[in-house]
Chain A
Amino acid sequence: MEEERIEITGSEAIIRSLIEEGVDTIFGYPGGAIMPVYDALYDYRHKLKHVLTRHEQGAVHAAQGYARVSGKVGVCIATSGPGATNLITGIADALMDSTPLVCITGQVVSGLLGTDAFQESDVVGITMPVTKWNYQITNAEEIPEAIAKAFYIASSGRPGPVVLDLTKDAQFAKMKYSYTKCSNIRSYVDDYRTDKKSLREAADLINNARKPFLLYGQGIVLSGAENELAHFIEKTGIPAAGTLLGLSALPTDHPLNVGMLGMHGNYGPNIKTNECDVLIAIGMRFDDRVTGSIKTYARQAKVIHIEIDPSEIDKNIKTDVALLGDAKWILRLLIRLVEEQKHPEWLKEFQLAIEIEKEKVIDKELNPKKPGLTMAEVVRKVSDLTNNNAVVVTDVGQNQMFAARYSKFINTRSWVTSGGLGTMGFGLPASIGAKFGAPDREVVLFCGDGGIQMTVQELGTIAQEKLPVKIVVLNNRFLGMVRQWQELFFDRRYSFTEIISPDFVKLAGAYGIEGCAVQKREELDSALKNMLKSDGPYLLEVMIEKEDNVFPMVPAGASVSDIILTANEDN
């Protein structure tokens, strides 16, 4: 049968291809070299929601937030030159945190490439080290295939960002349009099927372990293996701890969830890493913020690494058994091979560790004796008031670590943070994307007074979209995390970490966003309730004790067993 192929412009082909891929929301900023696409978008504006951010960095972080919450590919559009270069931070962030993105950038007409034309920059060259794949389209006929490949690559295997650079002439040109989705590229393997022998070996190690310990990362969320993870640990009785990005993959209060790993993670998971006999790592990459010194990391343990990206195997930590492939698939197979077990004594050790941490850290943070508010009590109160149901978005720094430590989760995909790249300014735009990705859920952003000012212009986007995100600014009048390091490791030489901020409530007010500031503990509860009651966007500024520190802490380069519980502790 003769396929119907209608003639349309390259720009319209872009829009129709996006719709074919199930895209309903895109984030972007127009400009000269992408104008034809924006013109085509105008005809499709009722089918494809476009969110105008105030800066391209805002667009890409919003797309990230959208992708992380919805599980779909985040899409953003920018013009050539500065438009494209402004996306770089978000693209690099998405690569580090395995977030599926398709970023479409305009480019000067192909005849002008390499002539230093107005707003020309070598986007394919610049984005090469920070993309999973990129491609320049100079011919309209290539558009459907390139978009199909982009979506397939971005979302399959270990997800990541893709950039399509689209010359202006390709946007204007007419082409015969037809669309076929991509599901296979000869040179690219999107999944592996681990062999039976390795599975058997892993199962034997697990069945014979006396002190097994499981680490879960974002790979669980990306493969949709949350139920399998819970089922697996329930059958084997293995305590599990999450990486920063793994949070919300397993309910916080699950009896076998022993907390968070890493530099500011929980006490038990860190010290027990160096006491377990079998370490099962799933969908995580042994980041240095998780491992501390790799020379002393889990040396006593047999390591099983379940991972879809072969380049992660043995990259940082040598494995005894590597299971390559999709976490969900592998867990399903493993569940059949492992024996039902309980490890009550071993689990008790984690409970004892949590008791120690409670006494030395957590209680002081949640029920402080001092008058100044702590970030921890604000975070926990938000969790309580939202019944642990909110999507929590954070910026980077102390606000992020407190949010990670004290938020509680019931549902997966409830946690959006910049982990690998640690991008300050990520939070506010990411919360916009998160709300579009989960319009029916409460989205609460925790950010610091420093980070919010890096992308504060996105309040304009929130105002224009009347987007009911709840912004909690934890203001300690410092770049808190750097100040903490200065205090602990640089003799309290507070070099340029004191920061002046505008009146955030007034600033929000200038955008027509409702807001309130609280100073005292007595006001906190009702202020948070008011914030959550409000129908629209809301900014709550909470004045925090100026020089609070995040503890526990594994000092950079130290062993995970040398975790410090308090500042004056002689370890």
Chain B
Amino acid sequence: MKQEYIITAYSENHIGLLNRITIIFTRRKVNIESLTVSESALKGISKFTIVVNEEEEKVINIVKQIEKHIEVLKAFYYTNDEMIFQEIALYKVPTEALMKSDQIEKLIRQYNARILEITHEYTVIEKTGHKEETQELFDGLYQFGVLQFVRSGRVAITRSPIERLSEFLKERDTLFEKMEAIKML
């Protein structure tokens, strides 16, 4: 059964790695719903957060293929309820519409959004939340003429108290030690 999964991957910060990871999806004709890359809590290690709508079996295959890349330290996959996640959306509406009625103000209050900038011509509104929430606000603002709209990729964090990567790095150190010991024999 297809459902939304969040794939996270930790890698060295190398040129071309994004490409190496995305072609794994392309080859299997899997669409990436959203993708975010940034430095993780560990210096020099990038974290990829990729959202797909796929069958679990395919997701497992993809995760293993991602991990196979030399510069990838580790990859994981989660269902939505295993993670806390957010997206951010920006909306540009005509300031005139904001002035004319209190409708937009009500929407901003209702959705807990905030205004970033107001000029004579336009006003920029920001909202963070799940896709459905940012979409709802978009739908509400639509009648006032949304001049521009943009939504970020998903950022996500696990519900477990520890970073699984640190756990993994520890395991790897033990493995290396074990193997060194074996080589010495």
Contact = CB atoms under 8 A, between A and B. Distances in A.
Interface stretch (B91-99, B155-163, B175-183): B175-183
A153 B69 CA distance: 11
Interface string B115-150: 000000000000000000000000000000000000
A134 B16 CA distance: 10
Interface residues of A, number: 22
B64 interface: yes
B64 A189 contact: no
B61 A124 contact: no
B73 interface: yes
Report the interface size class on chain B: 20 to 34
A509 interface: no
Given A193-B179, A310-B64, A311-B64, A124 B70 contact: no
Interface string B19-30: 110010001000
Contact of A310 (B16, B67, B70): B67
B70 A128 contact: no
B70 A184 contact: no
B177 to A, nearest CB: 11
B2 interface: no
A188 interface: yes
Most chain B beta-carbon neighbours within 10 Å: one of A133, A153, A187, A188: A187
A80 B73 CA distance: 31
Contacts of B65: 311
A128 B178 contact: no
Given A133-B70, A188-B70, A128 B64 contact: no
A133 B19 CA distance: 13
Main secondary structure of the interface of A (DSSP, over half): mixed
B70 A311 contact: no
Interface in B39-80: 60-61, 64-65, 67-68, 70-73
Contacts of B70: 132-133, 153, 185, 187-188
Contacts of A192: 175
B23 A128 contact: yes
Given A186-B12, A187-B12, A128 B67 contact: no
Interface in A313-347: 314-315
Contacts of B170: none
Nearest to B11: A187
B27 A184 contact: no
A125 B19 contact: yes
Given A310-B68, A315-B64, 5 more contacts: A125-B19, A129-B27, A153-B70, A187-B11, A310-B64
Interface of A: 124-125, 128-129, 132-134, 153, 184-189, 191-193, 309-311, 314-315
Interface of B: 11-12, 16, 19-20, 23, 27, 60-61, 64-65, 67-68, 70-73, 172, 175-176, 178-179, 182
22 contacts: A124-B16, A125-B19, A128-B19, A128-B20, A128-B23, A129-B23, A129-B27, A132-B70, A133-B70, A134-B16, A184-B176, A185-B70, A186-B12, A186-B172, A187-B70, A193-B175, A193-B179, A310-B67, A311-B61, A311-B64, A311-B65, A315-B61
